[in-house]
Chain A
């Protein structure tokens, strides 16, 4: 069964350093998302991406964050200058082609645990 994969599974970085989290969405999917989950808290939406541009972003997704689809398979989240409060589990998700009026399931990857020291 196709699945979303994410690397690395755990990333430890120093405050102020740049990190890039990588995701390989399901191959025929066209919509991509990043969510994060701070330990013990709910899953929060960061950004959605379609047709090589951001569709929607949350208040959390400030200028320190960026997303990119550098090739036909990868989808990346970059945090330019990490802060302690960026420590969280980051989930990538993808969904397939959109049908008007229908909701297409978002499939989640296993997550990358980011620890900022």
Chain B
């Protein structure tokens, strides 16, 4: 019930195209859904995050779509660029009155943007 399932495992998109990565969760106690971007040799870095009270959040070329009833959320990267080539992790967490709860990560998607 704690799992976050992520697909696809790898994705190749042409420059200028739309990259779409999907995640699904089971635990209805999750209340915060971030996406992390990881470049080789670096730690994960927060890209964009959403709370379940909204269905979409957009920051620049990055958009999270959230479907609470289906327990699914997705990352859309518009006008994908070679610099977006990285591994992307979705994650989920609860929020309590006692402190941050742990992040539960998806399995990751290796995105490659080709010219």
Contacts and interface: CB of A to CB of B under 8 A. Distances in A.
Whether A and B are associated in the same complex: the answer reads yes
Interface of A: 4, 31, 33, 35, 41-45, 48, 50, 55-56, 58, 91, 93, 95, 98, 100-111
A101 B98 CA distance: 9
- Looking at chain B's contact residues, the main secondary structure is loop
A90 to B, nearest CB: 10
A103 B49 contact: yes
B102 A56 contact: yes
A91 B44 CA distance: 9
Nearest to A98: B99
Given A41-B107, A42-B89, A103-B95, A4 B102 contact: no
Nearest to A104: B100
A105 B43 CA distance: 14
B43 A108 contact: yes
A110 B106 CA distance: 19
Interface in B17-40: 31-32, 34, 36
A55 B106 contact: no
A34 B14 CA distance: 36
Contacts of A100: 97
Contacts of A95: 100
Contact of B102 (A45, A98, A104): A45
